[in-house]
Amino acid sequence: MRKLTAVLTVLLCMLFSTIFSHAAAGNPNVVLVNPAAGSIVYSSNLLISVKLTQPTTIKVSVFEEKQAASGTAGAVSVNTAATSGALNSVITNPIPVTTPAIFISNNNLTFYTKQVNGLKPGLYKIQIDTLDTEQKVIYTNSSHVAIKEKAEEADAKIFDDSQSGTMQFLQTLLKTIFGE
C-alpha cells in the first residue's frame, strides 16, 4: 500500500507541476511593426521596423525560405503554397539574405529600422532574437512576408476610340482643350 501511495504521489506531482519554457514564446516587448506578419509586398525592397518597449538587445535577421523541387532548393512559390495551405511542409533550410544586425536599446521606447534591397519574388522570414548580456538568445520572434512582382496593370486608355458615353465626352473635351 505504501508503494502504491508513493507512486500515486509522484504521478500527481508530475501531472500538476508547472514547467516553463520561455524560449518558445516571443518577447512581448519586441514587436515587428513593418512589414505586417503574413503580408504581401510588391517591391524588391523591405523596410523592417521593430518597436522595443524596454531596454534590450536584439538581433534582426532576414532569411529567404526555400522549397525542395527536383532535389534542389528553389524559391517558394507563394501562390501555390498559400492556396495549398501547406506552406510549412515545403520549406527547407532558409538562406540568410543579409548579415544579422545587432541593436542595443537603452530606452523604454525605441524603434529600429532597416531597409533590405534587391530582393527577388519569394517567401522571406524576418527573425528577431532577444539577446541576454552574454549574447545568448532568450526569445525569438519571427514573421513571414511574401514578395511578389507587381502585376502588370492595364493601362487606362483615355484616348481610345472604343469608349462611349461620359468617357467619350471627356475624351472629346480634352482633345479640344489640349489638342491631339
- Label each residue of 52-97 as H, E or C: ECCCEEEEEEEEECEEEECCEEEECCHHHHHHHCCHHHHECCCEEC
141 in Cβ contact with 26 (< 8 Å): yes
The closest of 164, 170, 119 to 146, measured between CA atoms, is: 119
Say if strands 40-41 and 137-147 run parallel, antiparallel, or are unpaired.
Answer: parallel
- Cβ neighbourhood burial of 29 (10 Å; 0-12, 13-18, 19+): middle
Beta bridge partners of 101: 60
Considering all CA atoms of the chain, what is the largest pairwise distance in Å, rounded to the nearest integer? 105
- pLDDT confidence of residue 25: 66
- pLDDT confidence of residue 6: 59
Q: With a cut of 80, say whether residue 138 has pLDDT above it.
A: yes
- pLDDT confidence of residue 58: 92
Residue-wise pLDDT for 18-47, tens only, equals 443 334 468 888 999 988 888 898 888 889
Highest mean pLDDT among 18-27, 82-91, 126-135: 126-135
What is the overall mean pLDDT for the chain?
74
Residue carrying the nine cell digits 514587436: 31
93 in Cβ contact with 73 (< 8 Å): yes
